Structure 1
């Protein structure tokens, strides 16, 4: 099959025939072109197209590019607020890998999505909370206008340097507030390793299906 250039692949994604999945061959080939040096700024044609399918593909590409997506970090706030859940989902991953530790407003936007109505988006926020650097979380807390999210994020950061009482995390995992449970599950993930998985193991037993599935995946990664 004839190879297409990056520009041709972008055009193909924008055209997206009705039988094309938004993560079809053209998107995968375009990702290879981007890793090979095709300028990432060309993704603006997708991200600003106003076409939902093209925007989803562009957001997915950003999420796969890691720090190569950094030149387009300025597009992430709009993507995090996009009405399509898949776009928000992919934008969270891009914020984790392409955002800078100093970009508090971007991290704060991700924190706000812990209240998203979509369970897949909340799950991705949980992954962000578990993997973000302390500096990224601290910057997000400082920029957050939500007092509860600010306090929970600051608590998560403090666990990096303070003596941890496992009973506090367990109590939060078993509490009534879904957002508090999310931050407790993130704490369990951040404090667990191959030598001590007790907190994650407990998180894998709670009634909250989102928390339980996240903890089970984290345990699989550690084993």
Structure 2
């Protein structure tokens, strides 16, 4: 079988984007090409294609490239606001892997997706909040404008160095505001090694998003 170069694979994707049997294998092969040294900047040919399916494939590739995709961080704001939920989902991972302290507005954009209308995107934001560094969280919180996300974001940052009052976390987990519940669950996950009780409480929450996330996090901690 003839080996395709990175250019060949991108051209194949551009011309056969409607063929799922082609797109999946070609995307995997292209990822290998990037890891082998093919310039990651060529990924912009997919991201700027105007084809939603190719933008989704490009966002997935970017999320899989880890720090290698850092040079494309400028592409991420548009991906975070893309109408396809899968694109927003994958873009969040790219920010987690490559967001620096000087990318505060970009991290704030991720935090604002805690109000996204899609549960999968909100779940991914929760994972971001649980895994991001303190510096990333602080940069994002500082860059947030007024709104329902700013207070819980500042609360999370404030309690990243000093363990929050368990009663406060529980009250937020059980409160009426979905965003506050999400940030409280992130705090519970971040402090799980020191005090797993908060995350165990989150694992029994009525909010299915919070409950499923906490249960999965606890399972990962045990494995």
Give TM-score scaled by structure 2 length.
0.95
CA-CA distance at 1:15 after TM superposition: 1.9
In the TM superposition, 1:94-113 aligns within 5 A as: 94-113=94-113
| Distance change in 2, residues 1:187/1:56 (3 Å) | same
Separation of aligned partners in 2, 1:156 and 1:22: 44
Separation of aligned partners in 2, 1:198 and 1:24: 42
1:200 corresponds in structure 2 to 199
Contact 2:17 2:23 in 1 (8 A): no
1:209 corresponds in structure 2 to 208
* SS of equivalent to 2:175: coil
Query: What runs of 5+ residues in structure 2 fail to find an aligned partner?
Result: none
Select between 12-21 and 198-207 the one with higher mean Cα deviation: 12-21
2:36 corresponds in structure 1 to 36
Contact 1:22 1:53 in 2 (8 A): no
Moved over 4 A (4+): none
Matched length: 222
| Distance change in 2, residues 1:157/1:108 (3 Å) | same
Separation of aligned partners in 1, 2:140 and 2:18: 40
Contact 1:102 1:135 in 2 (8 A): no
Contact 1:22 1:57 in 2 (8 A): no
RMSD of aligned Cα (Å): 1.4
2:16 corresponds in structure 1 to 16
Give TM-score scaled by structure 1 length.
0.95
CA-CA distance at 1:115 after TM superposition: 0.6
Separation of aligned partners in 2, 1:94 and 1:16: 26
